[in-house]
Amino acid sequence: MNVKHVLLLVLATVSLGAMDEPTKTDKNAIVYVKTSDDKTIGVERWKIDEMKVLLVLLEHQKDLNSLDNPIQATMITSEELELMRNALGYISLGLFQSFYNTLFNEDVPQLAPGQTILSLDQGKMHTLVNTAGRIQAHGVSAFCLSYIVPSDVQGRFLVPYFIDPILRMLPVTHQVLAGHLGSVWTVAFSPDGSKMVSGCLGQRKNLILWDISNPEEITYQALEDHPDGVKTAVFSPDGNKIVSGCLGSRDNLIMWDISNPEEITYQVLEDHPDGVEEAVFSPDGSKIVSRGSMQNDLILWDISNPGAITQQVLAGHPNDVNTVAFSPDGNRIISGCWGQQNNLILWNVSNPEEITHQVLAGHPNDVLMAAFSPDGSKIVSGCSGPRDNLIVWDISNPAEITQHVLKGHPSGVETAAFSTDRKMIVSGSSGEENNLLLWNISNPEAITHKVLVGHPDYVWTVAFNSDGNMIVSGCLGKQDNLILWNVSNPEEITHKVLAGHPHDVMSVAFSPDGRKIASGGNGDEDKASLMLHQLVAVAEEKALQNCNSAQAQFLYQLCLASVRGFSIQLTSPYAMGMLDGLSPIIQKLLRERLGITLQSQCPKGHKGDCVIF
């Protein structure tokens, strides 16, 4: 049997113990795992991240893992876990060939004539491959199989197993967008994703239009006509207009025509007696609904003729309106207000001459949010207090509206959103416990939920991406205040904390293609109050998927070394050759996201923490 040569030639000499992982000097957080044979083993956190089944168990512990409270991993033995630990360690240092040779030499004596390592039903290589599959360590599975599966079939079967963990390990990058002088309360992308609009508190630079079509050269225009802090700003469905609202009684609702960026014009919509908290366009762009900060201040605007804009007050709420939204077909509006009476109203605005409404009775306290499902058949609404604070309404039959109270949040629900397939809802609430929940509502008779553990404080804002497989959430506080969740498999939800915001995160939004996240929070001109986060771009993902098996294996090793915190340097002819064979898109990705260098010596400050390939 031909043994595959290691992809990376390591120039440093490393002394190897019989089956011990090579040492490194930086300290890894240790996660304690109790195996099926009743042994407790300490495993570095970055290795747990590569074993999805163990990662899910760890996240269920809510940061309470310890020697006295280990993960209960009944699906793996101590020998299997040690094999996994060692394999990941060697892969991350480009030394898997030595590890493989050790396993191969131990397994060879067991081979019968005509057998290969792949056909053995015992032995350490077989154990490692089986274990990796069982605990869904897909990168390790593919890495091991690349040594024993014929090269002509590797591309079809192994590359996808490498790409998934690579995408997960690649860091999310961010840019601070400097321009605002105060805390950013609202942020939105244009429908084509080429622009952003953001609003902040304060009297100067409180509304900014950003051109993000070229990530290397982001520019902006300050739209300076609001006299006070901007609380809301959104694009029209065609991207040619923006509506924005601010605090105060003067010029508090403005519609901007941005169809010609060189000559932006605007109209002040006058009728709100005090500050405008929220404004949204109808799906066809012909109307705007806006809510103010005073009693019963809810107005529907007809903007189909910009020269003759008309408005109607929607009277029905007894108190200040907190939330408003259009249905996807534009025929209905949902709004919620403070108080215990008439605090949630569904409006039928299909006939402007005869607007009607229904009070949806169910919430015992102030309604804080309400949103339609993508098909308009349901509404989710949240209120303050511990009781009946999250309700899903089925409005498919207006004559027989039904409701399901979702029980799980111990305190008031501030934010919620539907997934694009309407099967899930994510909801955020105040408090430190159960403050972010993911609901499966695909079967109304058996609604279930999962607690998403990560935020230490009040969850203020949430959003799904356009595919419905990612969630971004923001909370109050200085720690873990912005988190990206992968919910593509609800049984194995994973997350990344997105660093950068020094204080509360108040608003989040995904770009239409789901590759960028905008987040706004508390701060000033000297702090990161507005950030643009870049996930893996479409072109980057396609380039990764077009790699051959050897290239995918090469990238997987680099990513593992990176998540360990190593400085990575490529110096050997083979490693340089592998780099040259990668597309320019991936080469740029490695430089910018993993920070690889081509130096012959480790940089200062990284002695002992540098891995040379």
State the first-to-last Cα distance of the chain, in angstroms, to the nearest integer: 27
Q: Cα dihedral sign for 182, 183, 185, 188?
A: positive
Give the tens place of pLDDT for each residue, 552-599.
888 888 888 887 777 777 777 767 778 888 889 888 888 877 777 665
Quickly count helices (H) and strands (E) in the chain: 12, 37
Residue 106 has what pLDDT?
67
SS3 assignment, position 18? coil
Q: Among 417-431, 460-474, 563-577, which is the least confidently predicted range?
A: 563-577
Q: What is the mean pLDDT of residues 536-547?
A: 83
Residue 16 has pLDDT above 60, yes or no: no
Residue 530 CB contacts under 8 Å (≥ 6 apart), including other chains? 176, 177, 179, 180, 184, 187, 198, 200, 518, 519, 520, 521
Count of other CB atoms within 10 angstroms of residue 485: 21
> Is 184 within 8 Å of 523 (Cβ atoms)?
yes
Count of other CB atoms within 10 angstroms of residue 466: 13
Q: What is the mean pLDDT of residues 258-284?
A: 94
Q: What is the mean pLDDT of residues 325-354?
A: 96
Residue 1 has what pLDDT?
27
The chain-wide mean pLDDT, for the chain, equals 85
Residue type, 323: T
Which residue, 158, 172, 98, is CA-closest to 129? 158
Q: What is the mean pLDDT of residues 243-272?
A: 94
CA–CA distance, 124 with 120 (Å, rounded to integer)? 10
Q: Among 105-109, 241-245, 606-610, which is the least confidently predicted range?
A: 606-610
> With 0-12 CB in 10 A as exposed, 13-18 as middle and 19+ as buried, what is 388?
middle
Q: What is the mean pLDDT of residues 499-507?
A: 92
> With 0-12 CB in 10 A as exposed, 13-18 as middle and 19+ as buried, what is 331?
middle
Q: How confident is the model at residue 526 (pLDDT cuts 50, 70, 90)?
A: low
* 497 or 567, which is more confident: 497
DSSP E strand boundaries for 236-377: 241-246, 253-257, 265-268, 276-281, 287-292, 298-302, 310-313, 321-326, 332-337, 344-348, 356-359, 367-372
* 513 or 390, which is more confident: 390
Count of other CB atoms within 10 angstroms of residue 285: 17
**What are the residue boundaries of the structural domains of the chain, listed by start?**
30-170+540-612
Residue 291 has pLDDT above 70, yes or no: yes
Residue 444, Cα to own-chain centre: how many angstroms?
26
> Is 152 within 8 Å of 195 (Cβ atoms)?
no
SS3 assignment, position 535? coil
* 446 or 129, which is more confident: 446
Residue 157 has pLDDT above 80, yes or no: no
CA–CA distance, 230 with 278 (Å, rounded to integer)? 10
CA–CA distance, 139 with 100 (Å, rounded to integer)? 15
Could you tell me the two tokens for 552?
């995918």
Q: Would strands 344-348 and 356-359 be described as parallel, antiparallel, or unpaired?
A: antiparallel
Percentage of the chain exceeding pLDDT 90: 55
Please state the φ and ψ torsions of residue 544, each to the nearest 5 degrees. -65, -40
Residue 393 has pLDDT above 70, yes or no: yes
Count of other CB atoms within 10 angstroms of residue 217: 8
Q: How confident is the model at residue 20 (pLDDT cuts 50, 70, 90)?
A: very low
> With 0-12 CB in 10 A as exposed, 13-18 as middle and 19+ as buried, what is 606?
middle
CA–CA distance, 364 with 382 (Å, rounded to integer)? 11
Count of other CB atoms within 10 angstroms of residue 205: 17
> With 0-12 CB in 10 A as exposed, 13-18 as middle and 19+ as buried, what is 232?
buried
Residue 499 has pLDDT above 80, yes or no: yes
Percentage of the chain exceeding pLDDT 70: 87
338: which DSSP letter? S
Give the tens place of pLDDT for each residue, 78-90.
999 999 999 898 8
CA–CA distance, 251 with 357 (Å, rounded to integer)? 29
Q: How confident is the model at residue 546 (pLDDT cuts 50, 70, 90)?
A: confident
Q: How confident is the model at residue 169 (pLDDT cuts 50, 70, 90)?
A: confident
> Is 144 within 8 Å of 120 (Cβ atoms)?
no
Residue 149 CB contacts under 8 Å (≥ 6 apart), including other chains? 118, 157, 158
Q: What is the mean pLDDT of residues 257-276?
A: 93
Give the tens place of pLDDT for each residue, 131-155.
988 998 888 888 887 777 766 666 6
Residue 121 has what pLDDT?
45
Q: Would strands 413-418 and 173-176 be described as parallel, antiparallel, or unpaired?
A: unpaired
Could you tell me the two tokens for 404?
């399901």
Residue 273 CB contacts under 8 Å (≥ 6 apart), including other chains? 249, 292, 294, 297
Residue 236 has what pLDDT?
98
Q: Among 12-21, 221-230, 371-380, 574-583, which is the least confidently predicted range?
A: 12-21
Give the tens place of pLDDT for each residue, 178-232.
999 999 999 999 999 999 999 999 888 999 999 999 888 999 999 988 999 999 9
Q: How confident is the model at residue 130 (pLDDT cuts 50, 70, 90)?
A: confident
CA–CA distance, 157 with 151 (Å, rounded to integer)? 10
CA–CA distance, 199 with 229 (Å, rounded to integer)? 8
Could you tell me the two tokens for 452?
């998403």
Count of other CB atoms within 10 angstroms of residue 304: 13
> Is 517 within 8 Å of 503 (Cβ atoms)?
no
